Amino acid sequence: MKNQVRVLVVDDERSMQEFLEIFLRSEGYHVATAGDVESAKLQIENDDFDVVITDIQMPGGTGLDLLRVCHDLSPETMVIMITAYASTETAIAAMKEGAYDYVTKPFKVDELRIILEKAIEKQLLSNENKRLRSELRGRARDRSIIGNSQPMQRVFDLVNRVAATRANVLITGESGTGKEMVARAIHAEGDRADRAFVALNCAAIPENLLESELFGHVKGAFTGAVQNKEGLFELADGGTLFLDEIGELTLPIQVKLLRAIQEKTFRRVGGTEDGHVDVRIVAATNRRLEDEVSAGRFREDLFYRVNVIEIPLPPLRERVDDIPLLISHFIDKYSRDLGKEVERFSEEAMACLLAYPFPGNVRELENVVERAAALSRGTVIGRESLPPSLLAPVARERSARIPPEGIDLEAEVDEFERALLAEALAMCGGVKKKAAQLVGVSFRSFRYRLEKLGLDDAGSA
């Protein structure tokens, strides 16, 4: 392991450089040397070092200056200070700024050996923890939000940008679009990933129990309160509290939630003392909360507290390009769960799936794939394994009226055309030439339109 560790020795005394270089090489380390802060900075910019051993007092800059350079350029590098006895206070100040440890001249090589080994051990442990955390985050992303379409790329970008902040987030979108999965991805990508993620569906808890669920209660607060109980705010302390369907909260609960978010304090039901928490709020709704505010059903001040950053999720009908990718993911999942060797859908079945508008969004698609995988008798899922609602799809009806917020004309036309072409393919059993005749265009034009709209893998010639 030592022969993989790179150490940079920085000292203006050539004799000390040579002494440490000989000693460290004899211990099995890779060693580089520098005589001042500037040359050390150049080496740190161009190479990766696990440990920097630096003198504190040098002409042209100090060990503290080099420590700050390491923080900026290589924050994972462990820094060990070498100091004269008279400069011990400076070494302690360096440790407060992030140096790992220090040795006082004259020092014994055994002392430096032990400090160096402990520094490397700490760094390896830190790197392993980061690797595992990164792996867990990757798995969380794999399980959660999937898609290559432009709408989903915008979602991914927002998730990456907001995860590192502490801002409260409001995720909006229709039921089944994956709002909780996005909330989990935000938590997993942020600095609270190793703390609790606590989820509550606000519509699933009766109003008379919701306050106790959120804030806890003390023994005897009400009939059945036989002992003290922690609320979700306490359980999520230091982590993330996900409030799904926040638009379902009644106004009295909204008032208490606002105080908890605004003041970072809460009071258990029946209690007399306030508790303090550090909780990030990620909320979700399938309603337009702006309309709820206008109607007096949702507090405006709470709306602005939870809607610091909004992440709108597109419905599945607006990201048809992602359907094959999602289907592949769900086939892999349910093949394992069901113990079956299912590989794919037939071209005819895939055409039916692409033509269907999926009002239940990704959740409905997953249900359809699970059902089809369970019913399938071979490795290829046929049309007969699909539910009846998918077998005679029609292009989604559209209103010619433009909503007040306006529309994206090209996107609307593309979506309508995509639905028509996919329906034509479904009606013709996936045969492109027949589908082209059905919609009254040439085969070459039909293929071009399929490619443009991301349907080029559907059907056969």
Range 2-130 classified under CATH 3.40.50.2300: yes
CB 356 within 8 A of CB 350: no
Q: What is the mean pLDDT of the chain?
A: 84
Query: Within the chain, which residue ranges are assigned CATH 3.40.50.300?
Result: 144-314
CB 448 within 8 A of CB 433: no
Q: What is the mean pLDDT of residues 66-71?
A: 88
Question: Please, which contacts does 99-108 make with residues 24 or more away whose CB atoms are closer than 8 Å?
Answer: 99/67, 102/56, 107/82
pLDDT band at 23 (very low <50, low <70, confident <90, very high): very high
The model's pLDDT over 372-386, given as tens digits with 9 standing for 90+, comes to 999 888 899 988 888
pLDDT of residue 401 exceeding 70: no
pLDDT at res. 143? 46
- pLDDT over 90 at 315, yes or no: yes
pLDDT of residue 402: 65
- 48 in helix, strand or coil? coil
Tell me: pLDDT of 415 over 80.
Answer: no
Q: Lowest-pLDDT range, 98-102, 223-227, 258-262?
A: 223-227
Give the CATH number of domain 317-452; options: 1.10.8.60, 1.10.3720.10, 3.40.309.10, 3.40.50.920.
Answer: 1.10.8.60
Give the tens place of pLDDT for each residue, 121-165: 887 776 665 555 555 454 444 445 788 888 899 999 999 899 988
pLDDT confidence band for 9 (50 / 70 / 90)? very high
**54: number of Cβ within 10 Å:** 28
Please check whether residue 37 is in contact with residue 66, taking contact to mean a CB–CB distance below 8 angstroms: yes
Q: What share of the chain in percent tops pLDDT 70?
A: 89
What is the per-residue pLDDT for 128? 62
Q: Which residue ranges does the chain devote to CATH 3.40.50.2300?
A: 2-130
The mean pLDDT of 90-110, rounded to a whole number, is 84
Reported pTM: 0.57
Quick one: tokens of 345?
A: 């859908």
Asked if the model's pLDDT at residue 396 lies above 50, the reply is no
Reported as a pLDDT band with limits 50, 70 and 90, residue 45 is confident
**CATH architecture of the domain with residue range 144-314:** 3-Layer(aba) Sandwich (3.40)
Share of the chain above pLDDT 90, in %: 32
Of 100-109, 392-401, 418-427, the one with minimum mean pLDDT is 392-401
* pLDDT computed for residue 399 by the predictor: 47
Contact 3, 27 (CB under 8 A): no
CB-based contact 102:91 (threshold 8 Å): yes
